[in-house]
Amino acid sequence: MDSWLNSANAWITYGLTILVLMGAVECGALLARRHLERSQDDDADRFLSNLSAPSLGLLALMIGFTFAMSLSRFEARTAAVVDEANAINSAALLGRMLAEPYSTAVAPLFKEYAELRVAYRGAALGSEKNANRLRRSVQLQEQLWQQATAAAKSNPDAVATELFVQALDAMIGAHASRLTADRNNVPAVVFLMLEGLAALSLGFSGYGVARARMRHRIAMLIMAFMIGSVITLILDLDRPQSGLVTVSQQPLLDLMERMP
């Protein structure tokens, strides 16, 4: 369920969310009109009408908590990109200090590695293209580690080699941290619960408005549109690169421009 929600088209998700919430308003109003035809004063009708206020309050609370969860994960992913760019830059600079032929051998590997670590817009985390880039990144890590091992064996007392090994280890760790941050999504059940609560709250609101014979149908539909937009934004923040709001890759792009 989580993978399907994260890979779904953002515009389709947005449209479906708006339609569901607007449909909930209309269903609530239709139910109220039918009840009014049978009874002009019903305690059950008043009870259902009064449920709109507490349900909207609970919805606001849920939206606040879910937004905070998605935003914290978005900020963590942004920080992970910066950390990985810094780690690659440090390892690449120390790679230039290695003795020949190792310094020449590692330079193109770092260049390719930095290019692979750029997450392009539209590339879902679970896509085959992204999986291939991830496998190639791990292969480059292994090749760089082999070069570091060979350099250490050829000159065990070289300070530059020791520093390069430490920087390479930090780069591999930054890769793992970023991958973990990208995969750390808000559970899909939270979004489904949020959507269901929003539909129920707007249904109660539509019921109350129709029962009071108030002509605020357009206002209720605008409210459904606003709530649906917020829910979609929260979901979009939880998608690393496949949504409308994506994590900036500028630190890695700047790094690629600086590399020889």
Full-prediction pTM beyond 0.85?
no
40: helix, coil or strand? coil
Digit-coded pLDDT (tens) for 235-259 = 888 887 777 788 889 999 999 998 8
Q: Domain count of the chain?
A: 1
Beta-carbon neighbour count of residue 176 at 10 Å? Answer: 11
Average pLDDT, stretch 114-136? 84
Structural domain boundaries enclosing 117? 2-258
Q: How far apart are CA 258 and CA 252, in angstroms?
A: 10
pLDDT in tens, 181-225: 988 888 888 888 999 999 988 888 887 777 766 666 677 788 888
Which range is least confidently modeled, 17-26, 74-83, 138-147? Answer: 17-26
Radius of gyration of the chain (CA): 27
With bands split at pLDDT 50, 70 and 90, how would you rate the model's confidence at 129?
confident
What pLDDT does 2 receive?
54
Residue 82 has pLDDT above 90, yes or no: yes
Half-sphere exposure in the Cβ direction for 229 (13 Å, CA): 6
Question: For residue 7, what pLDDT is reported?
Answer: 64
Neighbour-count burial of 16, counting CB atoms closer than 10 A to its CB (0-12 exposed, 13-18 middle, 19+ buried): middle
- What lies within 8 Å, CB to CB, of 61 at 6+ separation is none
